[in-house]
Structure 1
Amino acid sequence: MSSSAITPWVVGNWKMNPMQADAQQLIQSFKQQLQQAPLSAAQCHIAVAPIALHLLTVQQQLADAAVPVAVVAQDVSRQAGTGAYTGEISAELLKDSGIDTVLIGHSERRELFADTSVVVAEKVKNALNAGLRVIYCVGESLAQREEGLANQVVLQQICDIARVVQAEQWAQIVIAYEPIWAIGTGKTASPEDAQAMHAAIREGLAQITAYAAKMPILYGGSVKADNALQLAACKDINGALVGGASLDAQSFYQIATAFAQTK
């Protein structure tokens, strides 16, 4: 299978936004966009990742959307099952609530909340063993890129989880490449640079798993409606992990449309 045959994913990461009333309005506006011009699931997988407080509410709101929209958790506990872990939400609890996909390894979790490579690997292992799909985030800092270490850093982050992923579980993983220097800064990797990194990721994955050719690799980092078409046209970019632009229903819809039309 060529990477161009992979159905793209467009995932809106709401981060610590918005307030409840605004979240409800955002979903309603996005549903209206989908109602007016539906995108089929065969064209593009669409998902949103609200804060934990909103997961089930958003899931209920989206149940009657014109096309399926998945609801994704922004994080998961390193602890499995249930137990005395105040404030935590395990992979099993997410699965029991009908949440089937989780973001793991986002740079904000790594940098601000001490999600080391060991912690991230434990989260990935728990999520996969509970039957969740994992959107695994990788990316380099500006200093690392300027030092020529970008590929090394990103491929090491993939190797960090390889020891806990069973052979058949790679089919449940989506990679999201987000250069840290482009997250929330307004800066975006050029389509050429993004494609080069995505190709390197796919080549690295091919050394690890037979699923490499089928695995969606998303780009994230200041993705907007006005650069989505250029990114979507790149051979090895199979979707987007969208931050700020996902908080605007029309912009998010336009990004999804860009990937649906070019893949």
Structure 2
Amino acid sequence: MSASTITPWVVGNWKMNPVQAQAQQLLNEFKQLLQNSPIAQEKCHLGIAPTMLALSTVQAQMADAARPVYTVAQDVSRIAGTGAYTGEVSAELLADHGVGYVLVGHSERREIFADQRDQLNAKVQNALNAGLTVIYCVGESLAQREAGQAEVVVLQQICDIAAVVTGDAWGKIVIAYEPIWAIGTGKTASPEDAQAMHAKIREGLKQLTPHGANMAILYGGSVKAENAVELAACPDINGALVGGASLNADSFHQIALAFANTK
């Protein structure tokens, strides 16, 4: 399978947004857009990552959408199973609630909440053991990019999970490249820079696993309707992890259309 035949993913990361009434309106608007301007399931996978509080609500509200829209957890506990771990949500509990996908390693988790390699590896391993698909986020800071370390940093972050991802488990991993300096800043890596990094990631994945040629690699970092077509045209960019623009139904739909129609 070549990069051009990988079904793209477009995932909306709502982060710590919005309140219930706004979420309900957003979902209703998005469902209407999918009804009026369909996006075939085989052309693009769609996912929404709401807060933990809203996972079941989003899942229920999207159940009658014109096509499947997956619910994605924004994080998962490094503790498996159940027990006396106040505030934690394990991979098994997510699976029990019908959530099949989870973000791990988002830069905000790494930067603000100090998630380190061992914690992230535990989260990845727990998610895989529970049957979840992991959208594993990697990316460099502006200082690292300016120091010429971007590729080394990103490839090391991918190599880190090789300690817990082996064999066919790589088939349950999606990579999301998100340059930290482009998240929530309005800045976006140029399509050329993004493609160059995605190509390096693809090269690195192929060295780690036979699944490397088939794995989706998403771009995240101020993805908007205005730049989605250019990004979608890049051969090794297989979708988008969308932040702020996913809180607008029309923008999110336009981004999904860009990838569905280009790939």
The one-letter amino acid paired with 1:115 is D
Shift of 1:114: 1.2
Give the 5 Å matches for 1:226-237. Answer: 226-237=226-237
Q: Distance in 1 between matches of 2:99 and 2:227?
A: 30
TM-score, structure 1 length as denominator? 1.00
Give the 5 Å matches for 1:1-263. Answer: 1-263=1-263
The one-letter amino acid paired with 2:32 is Q
Q: Distance in 1 between matches of 2:261 and 2:254?
A: 10
In structure 1, the residue corresponding to 2:208 is in which secondary structure? coil
User: What is the aligned-residue RMSD (CA, Å)?
Assistant: 0.4
In structure 2, the residue corresponding to 1:46 is in which secondary structure? strand
> Structure 2, unaligned stretches of length 5 or more?
none
The runs of 4+ residues in structure 1 deviating greater than 6 Å are none
Q: Distance in 1 between matches of 2:32 and 2:171?
A: 32
What is the percent sequence identity of the aligned residues?
72
The one-letter amino acid paired with 1:3 is A
- Residues 132-167 of structure 1, C-alpha deviations (whole Å, 9 max, x = no match): 000000000000000000000000000110010121
Q: Distance in 1 between matches of 2:211 and 2:41?
A: 21
Shift of 1:37: 1.0
Shift of 1:15: 0.2
Shift of 1:52: 0.3
The one-letter amino acid paired with 1:195 is Q
The one-letter amino acid paired with 2:202 is R
Q: Distance in 2 between matches of 1:195 and 1:117?
A: 26
Shift of 1:101: 0.1
The one-letter amino acid paired with 2:36 is Q
Shift of 1:78: 0.1
Q: Distance in 2 between matches of 1:184 and 1:251?
A: 15
Q: Distance in 2 between matches of 1:167 and 1:130?
A: 16
The number of equivalent residue pairs is 263
The one-letter amino acid paired with 1:181 is W
- Residues 95-124 of structure 1, C-alpha deviations (whole Å, 9 max, x = no match): 000000000000000011110111101100
- Residues 167-211 of structure 1, C-alpha deviations (whole Å, 9 max, x = no match): 110000000000000000000000000000000000001110000
TM-score, structure 2 length as denominator? 1.00
> Structure 1, unaligned stretches of length 5 or more?
none
